[in-house]
Structure 1
Amino acid sequence: RQLAVMFLGLDRFKRINNALGHPVGDEMLKRVARTLATVVRESDSVFRYGSDEFVVVLGDIVDPQQIKGVADKLLAAISSPQPIDGHDLSVTASLGISVYPSDGFDAVALIKKAETAMRNVKETGPNDYRFFTEDM
């Protein structure tokens, strides 16, 4: 059995805070967190990691295709518009993925590698995901 760590960074989130204020941005973060929690299984975990970053841990992975399916669902769910304070707001996310045991044996290594993969996605275009590779 495998475990997947997904590091999710919202794309251009600061624009929402700058244009509409922090209360609207905070509400958007709450909605993203709720959305993430509804997409994954109850046995999986969702954590807010940084200002506009989240970590999702998928346990008990039998087939790597499961990870791709969840990544696709997460990106689609996050990008659907949210009515907040009279605005229909949507965000996209960049998502990096690391897998236990192939990418590491402890939480720090897995999160760091998933974050590296996420930063790699941000460089090439938003609203996508990528698995960690050693050449990143």
Structure 2
Amino acid sequence: MSKTAKRISVILAVLLVMAMLMTTAMAITFHQGVSWTIPGANQRSREHSWKAKESAIVGKVYIDTKANTVQVGAEDTFFKVALNESGAACSQVKCNLGYLSRREIAMAITKDRTYATYSWRVDPTLNTDIVDGLTNIYNR
């Protein structure tokens, strides 16, 4: 093998190791997927317990969420998601978008600690049922 080929091999090996380390550092941990509904007479869903698989600091916890509505009125319907009773909530999410919306949750989570997530309607249109709610909880 020539000297140039050896140098190229070493450079490629170093790049491969760096790529593997970066991929590991940017790994995403999936904690829980939750399905929920908010019937028309209620303001919020029931609580769903989940256990954190690893710790994460503020700014690293986020959710992907969506929901649909039935008995839709003239106004848009919005909801929020909280990861526990005393924790922060995400910014409001509009129903019937047809795709998952990513929202950051401004709180830290601790490995092996149990949390109880729930969702609630933002607007007062109580005759609208929020159905097919889905929330996936992650950290980076």
- TM-score normalised by length of structure 2: 0.37
- Structure with the higher fraction of residues in strand conformation: 2
- Structure with the higher fraction of residues in helix conformation: 1
Larger radius of gyration between Structure 1 and Structure 2: 2
